[in-house]
Amino acid sequence: KAGVTQTPRYLIKTRGQQVTLSCSPISGHRSVSWYQQTPGQGLQFLFEYFSETQRNKGNFPGRFSGRQFSNSRSEMNVSTLELGDSALYLCASSLTGYSYNEQFFGPGTRLTVL
């Protein structure tokens, strides 16, 4: 079966713009989590959505937001982009939203902010 897909895979934006990233979970999965990966800070949890509800969020400013649709697809939005937002954004989906063994990551979207 198809894995987690993220679109686009690469994106270049300029400071001040906004961006929307998309994540399509594995079929049947109801949980989608988002992470930011940078060389300096490593992997950091952004937020998790389960059945269209945000269950928790990490320590990121309000410029970072997300949502989940009824088909479990999720989007994250970053407004007023800053240079430091350049990163690999990973999403992961899981069936029940509890087990680590059932959480699978997508390949990520590489965002470059100029």
Partner 1 sequence: GQQLNQSPQSMFIQEGEDVSMNCTSSSIFNTWLWYKQDPGEGPVLLIALYKAGELTSNGRLTAQFGITRKDSFLNISASIPSDVGIYFCAGQSDSGGSNYKLTFGKGTLLTVNP
Contact set with partner 1 (CB under 8 A): 4, 31, 33, 42-45, 48, 50, 55-56, 58-59, 90, 92, 94, 97-101, 103-108
Exposure of 86 by Cβ count < 10 A (0-12 exposed, 13-18 middle, 19+ buried)? middle
- Min dist. Cβ of residue 111 to partner 1 (A): 15
Neighbouring C-beta atoms of residue 3, cutoff 10 Å: 12
Query: Taking Cα atoms as reference points, which of 25, 19, 17, 21 lies closest to residue 7?
Result: 21
> For partner 1, which is the closer residue by CB, 71 or 96?
96
CA proximity to 38, closest of 82, 88, 76, 90: 88
Give min distance, CB of 41 to partner 1, in A. Answer: 8
CB of 69 to partner 1, least distance (A): 19
Closest CB to partner 1 among residues 15, 55: 55
Q: Which is nearer to partner 1, 44 or 86 (CB)?
A: 44
Q: Three-class SS of residue 68?
A: strand
